[in-house]
Every structure is written in structure tokens, then in C-alpha cells.
Amino acid sequence: MPRPVPIGALLLVLACGPAQDQTATTTSVAPATTVSTAPSPPTTADSSPATTAVPSTTTGAPLAGLTYTAVAEELPFPTVLVARPGEDAIYFATKNGQVWKLGEGVILDIGDRVTNSGERGLLGMAFHPEDPTRLFVHYSDGNGDTTVSEFVDDDGGFDATAERIFLQVSQPAANHNGGTIAFGPDGYLWVALGDGGGGGDTFRTGQAAEDLLGGLLRLQVDATEPYEIPPDNPFIDGGGAPEVWAIGLRNPWRATFDEDLIYIGDVGQGNFEEINVAPSSAPALNYGWPVTEGLHCFDPAEGCDLEGFILPVVEVAHSDSGTCSITGGVVYRGSAIPDLTGHYFYSDYCGGWLRSFLFDGAGASQQQDWTEQVGIPGQVVSFGQDASDEIYVLTTDSIFRIDPVR
């Protein structure tokens, strides 16, 4: 079991992505009908999972529960943890613009160009799945705008001065920057962006397919600079920005791929948080914001037509256990807890609880709340997986591994 690695104390406060903003919730929004959408899958209504009997699929000792094992502490706000193909080492990024290799320290520092304030900072990181010398990062630049760029390991380490910028997107406000970048099963780089900030979709990007904000972007980064558009992107021939794959997101702080599915934790406005699950191969999906919040019309007084939107499989109300800002997680595919293979783990920045469910193709089944067993480690910022697909939980100053109790 790894020993905790102290790396210097620094505690920051994140406002509303992942933590929830306190902006008004009274904006009236009419449904948009300008973007084609796929039918919504069956959904599971709200919310709090029951603490049920723990399943066992092993012939050995049954799973009695879960526990957290600290692997690093006193960190300057870790935001993302990933494995590097071909290595057993753990890599993670911190909000101040640094990339770390666990046990060795900082391997890349771009803090001189990162705005580290509130929801801004170094927000996402991904290694290329076929060429692990290529490291992609998503950060807020000196103006607070979204930047996605690449650094290459030339056997001498990552050179902070040798940056290749792929994408820059103007951010009209300081919040709702999204955060995730990840390579999908299709080999393309996906970028999850929020609606630009404010409250109630201030900048009207949620239902605007022509705007990169509020959407999932899908880019070919193995071709000419700065990137190419995959030929099957839904708006490549018009009707929206060619980079856009899906729309209707408010603040998709954390998203993850599992086999042919994408799981998205989308931060809500004032009442509901949501987890969405959809086929990653389905183009032009519409996740509903700002027409919907969770399973509901965002403005109940105005009403709305929910048909055509991808509705969440899990909704969590803000009245539930201190919930304020959903922290999307990952699907378990490790070997230490085979009892929970295929289960998706997630949390909340304020509540700090730990929950899971199994997506059965129609909705969220086997919902469980593990909080009483594992405790609340702090404000949960993110999840990650190592080379063995074991799961890690990141708080504002620590990293914990989820381990079985038998």
C-alpha cells in the first residue's frame, strides 16, 4: 500500500465548477428546436440511493465495504488524475498549472500562463492513447479564456516553452468553464465546455449549436495544425460549429468514457445536479440546458417540452446531504473489487459523499451510498484511474484510493 506523500500545503477555494455558483435561478427560457436530437433513454427518477446489500461476484471473501487509502496529501488543489499508457506511475495536475508524477514531483509547470482563480486554472489533462509522449492540457489562460494545448516528452522531460496550442475559446465570465478533455474510443480528443458562466444561461449558448460553449467538442489532433474536424461530426456541413458533437450542457466539469458510453456529470443551477449517460457514437445529442435542469423544466412556471432531450439517469437535489455541485466520476474496471465491475462512482463538491450505480442500458440500477463506510474525505473535486483501472478520489488537498474491505 503506498504511503502518503506530503508535497507542501496550499488550500484553495473553488467557486462553482466544480462548486455550485449562487447566481439567480429565475430566468425564463423557451425550448429551442433548432438542433436535431436523439430520443432520450429511459431515466431513473431522483435520487438518494438506498444503502443496499453489497453484491459479491467472487468465490473468495464477500465484499464487506469500501475504504479510502491516502496516497498523497498537502497538495495544491489536484484537479485531475490519469494513467500514462505503458506506465504504472500515476500522473496528476494541480489547479495552479503544474503536472506531477506521483513520487517524483512536478514534471511540467505552466503556472506562468494559467489564471488560477475561482473556477479557473489547469482543469483537464490527457495523454495520447497511442503516443504517450504527447500530453494534452486544458487550462484558463492569462485572460481567463479556454486553452487546449500539447506538450511533448522528448526524453528530456516536458518543455514548458514548447507548447502547441490547438484550441482557444473566449470565456465571457469567470465560471462554467467545463474541464474534461479525454480521448474517446474513436481516438478523437473530446473537450467538455460550460455555457460561459453567469446564471440561467446568461450568454444563450446552451441551445446554440453554432457556439462552442455549452457543448461537447470532438477534434482530430493527429493531423495538421491546429486540428481537423472528424468527417462524421454532425455539423461539418452546416447547422452548427463543425467542432460540436453535442449541446445543452451547463457545466460538464467531469465526463468519462466507458466502452461505447459517455458519462457526464453536469453541474446544476440552483435545484438539481445530474449524471447523464449516452452512447458516445450518437451525434447531435441535446442534454437540455437551459430548458431543463435535471429531470425538470428549468423554469417550472414557463413549462417545457422534454421530448427530444437526453435526460439524466441520476438526479440529485440540493436538499440531499449538502449537495451543491456534482463531481462526475469513473466506471470501475479494476481487479481489486470485481464485485463492482461496471459500477460508476461519483460524488459532490460540497457534500463529499460517495455513491455508485450500474447503468443497465435503460437507467441506473443497484444504486448505493458508501458514505457511512468511507466517511467524507473533504470537498471532492475529481476522480481518476491508474494503469490497473483502480479508482482514486481527489479532494482540494489530497488523493485517496478506493480499496475493498473483506
pLDDT tens for each residue of the chain, 406 residues long:
333 334 433 333 333 544 444 333 322 222 232 333 333 333 334 445 544 445 545 456 899 999 999 999 999 999 999 999 999 999 999 999 999 999 999 999 999 999 999 999 999 999 999 999 999 999 999 999 999 999 999 888 899 999 999 999 999 999 999 999 999 999 999 999 999 999 999 999 999 999 999 999 999 999 877 899 999 999 999 999 999 999 999 999 999 999 999 999 999 999 999 999 999 999 999 999 999 999 999 999 989 999 999 999 999 999 999 999 999 999 999 999 999 999 999 999 999 999 999 999 999 999 999 999 999 999 999 999 999 999 999 999 999 999 999 9
Q: What is the DSSP letter of 32?
A: P
pLDDT at residue number 223: 80
d(CA 217, CA 21): 24
d(CA 94, CA 111): 10
d(CA 358, CA 344): 6
pLDDT at residue number 49: 54
Give the Cβ contact number of residue 230 at 10 Å: 19
347 vs 5, 79, 150, 376, 393, CA distance in Å? 24, 14, 29, 10, 9
Q: How far apart are the first and last CA of the chain?
A: 16
